[in-house]
Amino acid sequence: MEVKIDKNRLNLLCERIIEYSLYTLIFFLPASKAIVEICVTVAFIAWIIKNTNNNSFSLPKTDLNIPLLFFIVMSILSVTVTTQRPDISARTFFRKTMEYVIILFMMAEVITTKKRLTNILIVMLASSFIVGLDGIYQNIMKVDFLRRFPLYAGKVTASFQFSNNLAGYLITILPIPISLVIYKATNKKTRLSLILLLALLVICLLLTRTRGAWLGFIVGLFFVCAFNGKKAIFVAILFLIILSIFSPTAIKDQIKSFTSLGTDVSTDDRIIIWSTAWQMFKNKPFFGHGLGTFMSVFGRYKPYDYNEIVYAHNCYLQMAAETGIFGLLIFLWFVFKFFKSAILKLLKSKDKFSKATLIGIAGGILAYLVHSFVDTNLYSLPLAVLFWAMAGLATARIESK
């Protein structure tokens, strides 16, 4: 009997360590890669101890398990067979791919109660509030107060190094408070706080002047509103009002440049990079050049007068270049299964808070995926961790009774 009590206490301790490590990870995600890595390591060790204590290594049973299994198998194949740089591919597999999958499963396994869901949302929104303030401060003072980063080419970055990374973070978080507000999933006082947070984050998003992120946000917004058509018009009008009031001339010029591909330096760069990435894919279309090898292989294919060695600025094109069409299709299968499971759950869900939260998380993930067509979200550590953490959080809601 004494052994059983000790086991239960150890299990409870490990679960608490995992829980609070995940809270800490989410809070410091925008500001410190080191803390993120420490939190993942601590949570993983606690998870190993817990499973060892239970004499089993079971994973949560979800609709995503089979796509994730194929995703891991494809990554292992890339590391052991197809890669041209085994050292880079192995490091990418263990330090990134497996880390992301573990984060998803830990979220799905631990954040299963309404109290824990509420806690992690509070942590997430509090962190985004600080980021929003930091962005506004940086726009005024020309340097942020968290990491002393200057404006990037006149664009707000807050605690992120680049404006597009900040934009990717904001559009993933924003649909959650939007959903909680329009579906009245909280009390009036909380909704007022959420509306103020929304105003702050939307202004900050505009100041990033990141067109791909704006498009992603609009798509995510329509997804959130799709489950309540009457609110869609109100939210869209509110967004346009805020846009017209707070858009400086530079932002309005960015909006006009949506239709002027080729006149923008970053657009010209992207066309060169995408063309080169496409050539890489065509050369090895089935299994790619190897996990994590894009930057090391890029130099062999780039134009002779192009000196930058960069990411593809299109996550799907980079994935195809690294892991081939099979790797890309497996990831898209994972995305399809995720949204299919989420929508089926939403059609059945009766709990207003859980439903609004799942709508918001799914809307944020959709915005993130749209933005990933023109950026590096899945290859930026903070944003990649955010994606897989959000997917795990949504999976916990999907699998809840």
Biggest alpha carbon–alpha carbon distance for the chain: 74
Give the phi and the psi of residue 152 in degrees, each rounded to 5. -105, 105
- Among residues 401, 325, 382, 392, the alpha carbon closest in space to that of 109 is found at 392
CA pair distance 203, 238, nearest whole angstrom: 12
| 228 contacts: CB under 8 Å, gap ≥ 6 | 182, 183
CB 196 within 8 A of CB 247: no
Name the pTM for this structure. 0.92
Q: What is the pLDDT along the chain (401 residues), one digit of tens a residue?
A: 444 557 889 999 999 999 999 999 999 999 999 999 999 999 999 999 998 988 877 888 899 999 999 999 999 999 998 888 999 999 999 999 999 999 999 999 999 999 999 999 999 999 999 999 999 999 999 999 999 999 988 899 999 999 999 999 999 999 999 999 988 878 889 999 999 999 999 999 999 999 899 999 989 988 998 887 655 556 666 665 555 555 555 455 555 554 444 334 467 788 888 999 999 999 999 999 999 999 989 888 888 777 766 788 999 999 999 999 999 999 999 999 999 999 999 988 888 899 999 999 999 999 999 999 999 999 999 999 999 999 999 999 998 86
Rg of the chain, C-alpha, whole Å: 21
A 10 A CB-CB count for 119 gives 17
| 185 contacts: CB under 8 Å, gap ≥ 6 | 179, 352, 353, 355, 356, 357
Which H or E element spans position 387? helix 381-399
In the beta sheet, which residues pair with residue 150? 143
- Among residues 75, 61, 127, 25, the alpha carbon closest in space to that of 384 is found at 25
